[in-house]
Amino acid sequence: MSTTPQRSALDELRAAYHEQLTRLAAERDAAHRQARRAQAQADVARADLASLKSSVQELLAAAARHLPDLEPGGPPELPAAARRALPAASPSGESGDGERPARAA
């Protein structure tokens, strides 16, 4: 009769072990799904960025045809220090009034 309580305890441990395995597998699967969604979102963001860059280049080329002193290659790249000194864009999409002094580097 002493084997019954031991067997019952072993069965409980097995059940708890299988329950934990099932839970961990579900968490793993959820993490994989989340990673796939994040990868898909990153792919879409890269495609959107490429499209925006193309549109900007087209707009700059069109502007260069009408403004002789605008270079058709686009605006020159700013050095990193100059980019950091520029004011951040506001939530409305505007970059500010242009009267804000630049921070010292």
Strand (E) or helix (H) holding 34: helix 3-66
CA distances from 17 to 13, 63, 68 (A): 6, 68, 75
Residue 61 pLDDT: 87
Contact 74, 57 (CB under 8 A): yes
Domain ranges of the chain: 3-68
∠ Cα 46 49 54 (to 5°): 130
| pLDDT tens-digit profile, the chain (105 residues) | 455 777 899 999 999 999 999 999 999 999 999 999 999 999 999 999 999 999 999 998 888 888 877 665 555 566 676 666 655 544 444 444 444 444 444
Kindly state the tokens that stand for 59. Answer: 């707009």
Whole-number Å distance between alpha carbons of 90 and 84: 15
